[in-house]
Amino acid sequence: MPARKYLRPERLPTYWCPGCGDGLVVKELAGAFGDLGMDASNTVLVSGIGCAARAPGYFLLESVHGLHGRAVPIAEGIKTARPELNVVIFSGDGDLLGIGCNHLVHASRRDTDLTVVLIDNQIYGMTGGQKSPTTALGVKTLTSPDGNTDRPVDCQALVKAHGSFYARATTFHLPLLGKALRAALTHRGFAVVDVRSQCPVNFGKRLGFKNAYEMLMHFKKAYRPVAGEVDRLGPGEIGITR
Amino acid sequence: MSETKTETSLKGVKNLAALTGNEAVAQALRQINPDVIAAYPITPATEIVQIFSTYVSDGLVNTEFVAVESEHSAMSATIGASAAGARAMTATSSQGLALMWEMLYIASGLRRPIVMPVVNRALSSPINIHCDHSDTMGARDAGWLHIFSEDAQEAYDNTIQAIRISEHPDIQLPTMVTMDGFIISHGMEVVKMLDDDVVRDFVGTYKPDTYLLDVDKPVTMGGLDFTDFYFEHRRQLAEPMEAAPGVVKQIGEEYGKLTGRKFGLYEGYMLDDADYVMVLLGSTAGTAKTIIPELRAKGIKAGLLKLRMFRPFPADEIADAAGRAKKIVVMDRAEGFNAVGGPLCAEVKAALYGKSRAEVVNAVYGLGGRDLGPDLARAAFDLSGPGVIHLGVRG
Ligand SMILES: Cc1ncc(C[n+]2csc(CCOP(=O)(O)OP(=O)(O)O)c2C)c(N)n1
Ligand SMILES: [Mg+2]
């Protein structure tokens, strides 16, 4: 399997909880690297802090694990100094759309040639399950015991505001996720792949999902792949935008 | 979360609860019942505000709780709420405190009496979530008062007292109340709580001296202040630090009457006649208190000076209490990165200058949560020589 050479199987099992979606995204990204025949000696991973941000540790690639929210500017620095490198970012919803959200907006304005893999589990997973910037309205979390009253961030709107690449997939729709990652990696300019993923332990269980399987089945029902490239994805739609 | 239960077997002591440090501080916040809390989660402090958010939803407090998107925003919103006349609080740790850094100076510069529990944790890089004091040491000159706690009980007691200290007319400065990450924040112990109404009476209602939208007394906060008056205003900001030791002692006495416990600027343990004195902050005091009696039994006159207050630094008190010792071992749970000494040792040496002939030894220990057991603590008393000694480090 060509994906294997980008990974560090000796690091398995992963540190993530059983059923976490992060491993699926790692596998798909390694697969996309393999499909594109990407040069491992020319590819760098950058991440902030969070469960999603631990993903670079499972790749046999150079990486920088920085600070919560600051993956994007660190990656911009790397890309600026060494434009020939492929620079890929792993980030969580809190990391990218909360504490570091301004960086997302400005890197997309500059259209810096970076690929961002956003693992959106709609929760602060690493700190145990507090509401995040993408937690849906009304949802109960440890810090919104009566239901969340803050409207979720619209990642697509932020990224598309400056015409950057945006695709959305889920950890159930893996072939689509692979396709979106390949498209983002080959896109010249700022590209975000927004992956809806499951956090069964610190989020799903409290919502009444018994396990990761139930969450994946929920993604299957709740998200509809759109054919071809569209201008904008509606709520519940997944696919690649122009 | 632990339940409070009344214990009759201990005379005069009720409201005994098995609480972690985080739970104890969350209970203190509930009893203080601040007007606004704005916060962002970070290990190991997350639970304080998370538990508090359940009090909000259960209607046990009247607090407005804002789950902001970063600590920079948390401190900013807390400052804003305080400027608008509210009793406003937040809590954090490590990188969260680091991200607040520029706002810490705004809080003190605007004389906002904000109280913030800080759970001490190492700073990145590399990433580490365990205890050391690097985070608050990095904020030691930000115009905040710093009060350290040895255990969950003290974290609870100090949080309540800090409200009165910060809001005291002679102080009007923010205070951080610290406790050691995991060791205190996640360790469970029996905490003696006060009754809710006793705490509410003790902290009283916040009556701000100046606040926004008081149309009879309009103010501009934080205006432009160049070469004309900036210097004078900075000096004014330093003045309450001189008043603080007296205020801390006075409020400690008042609170002591309610609890039977003593609160000064420092705690001495077998200190009065000690030839060998250990100076430290936080939970390691507990370790020192177990080995000192052993050393005493062997005829070694060892003692402990546990600082409660780190800012303002009680220099005269330290010189008076420990200056006559033969040797003073200063334990720093933060590296100074200055090739001279840890931040605590540098201050202690300055405090003793011209007042003591003691040999002052500096041990940096416990970075990133490295445990300091009784053996290492015992060994610390035998350390000698100039420079920084890294205790318990490999290689
Ligand atoms: C400045 C700062 N504040 C807070 C934290 C604590 N923290 C670590 S990860 C995290 C949330 C991560 O959530 P997200 O980005 O959604 O990633 P996930 O763990 O869900 O994958 C927080 C609040 C931190 N590391 N640094
Ligand atoms: Mg998340």
Separation between Cα atoms, residue B61 and residue B6, nearest integer Å: 22
Q: What digits encode the pLDDT tens for the residues A44-53?
A: 999 999 999 9
* Domain match, B144 and B247 both: yes
Q: For residue range B111-149, what is the model confidence (pLDDT) as tens digits?
A: 999 999 999 999 999 999 999 999 999 999 999 999 999
Q: Is the pLDDT of residue B12 over 90?
A: no
Q: Are residues B271 and B236 in the same domain?
A: no
The answer to whether residues B32 and B127 belong to one domain is yes
pLDDT band at B13 (very low <50, low <70, confident <90, very high): low
Q: Flag if A67 and B69 touch (Cβ within 8 Å).
A: no
Q: Which residues of B touch A57 (CB under 8 A)?
A: none
Q: Does B205 lie in the same domain as B70?
A: yes
Mean pLDDT of B344-365: 97
Residues B231 and B377 in one domain: no
Let me know whether B227 and B207 are in one domain: yes
Mean pLDDT rounded to a whole number for chain B: 95
pLDDT at B15: 87
Same domain, B254 and B271: no
- Does B228 lie in the same domain as B270? no
**Ligand 1 proximity of B77 Cβ (cutoff 6 Å):** no
Helix (H), strand (E) counts: chain B: 13, 17
Q: Are residues B163 and B131 in the same domain?
A: yes
Q: Which of B41, B54, B95 has the CB atom closest to A145's CB atom? A: B54
Residues of chain B above pLDDT 70, percent? 97
CATH of the domain at B283: 3.40.50.920
Residue B113, domain CATH: 3.40.50.970
Domain C-terminal end among B259, B286, B316: B259
Q: What is the pLDDT of residue B209?
A: 84
Strand B36-39 relative to strand B64-67, pairing: parallel
Q: Does one domain contain both B225 and B311?
A: no
**What is the pLDDT at residue B8?**
41
For chain B, helix, strand, coil in percent to 5 are 40, 20, 40
Per-residue model confidence as pLDDT tens digits over B234-263: 999 999 999 999 999 999 999 999 999 999
pLDDT of residue B1: 38
Helix (H, G, I), strand (E, B) or coil at B310: strand
> Residue B213: its pLDDT value, please?
87
Q: Report chain A's mean pLDDT, rounded to a whole number.
A: 97
Domain count, chain B: 2
- As a whole number, mean pLDDT of residues B269-277 equals 98
- A234 burial via Cβ count (<10 Å: 0-12, 13-18, 19+): exposed
Same domain for B301 and B243, yes or no, is no
CA angle A166, A167, A172 (to 5 degrees): 155
Q: Is the ipTM value over 0.85, yes or no?
A: yes
Ligand 1 pocket check for A25: Cβ under 6 Å: no
User: Could you tell me if residue B12 is left (phi over 0), alpha (psi between -120 and 50 degrees) or otherwise beta?
Assistant: left
> What residue of B is the nearest CA neighbor of A97?
B69
CA of A242, closest CA in chain B: separation in Å?
Answer: 30
B67 → chain A, closest CA residue = A143
Of A130, A137, A202, which to mutate for an interface test with B (greatest number of B Cβ within 10 Å)?
A130
The pLDDT of residue A62: 96
Quick one: pLDDT at residue B10? 46
In the prediction, which pLDDT does B2 show?
A: 41
Range of the domain at B157: 4-259
B315 in the same domain as B225: no
Which residue from A68, A101, A146 is facing B95, i.e. has the nearest CB?
A: A68
- Ligand 2 ion: Cβ-proximal residues, 5 Å cutoff: A 92-93, 121, 125
For each of the domains in chain A, give its residue range(s) and CATH number, in order of start. Answer: 2-241 (3.40.50.970)
Atom index in ligand 1 nearest the CA of residue A124 equals 13
Q: Looking at the complex, report in whole angstroms how far the Cα of residue A176 sits from the nearest Cα belonging to chain B.
A: 31
Each residue's pLDDT tens digit, B352-362: 999 999 999 99
Instruction: Give the pLDDT score at B109.
Output: 97
Q: What is the mean pLDDT of residues A123-150?
A: 96
pTM assigned to the model: 0.95
Position B5 scores a pLDDT of 42
> Tens of pLDDT along B76-103?
999 999 999 999 999 999 999 999 999 9
B99: which chain A residues are within 8 Å (Cβ-Cβ)?
A: 99
Q: Which of these three, B202, B225, B259, is where a domain ends?
A: B259
End of a domain among B231, B259, B287? B259
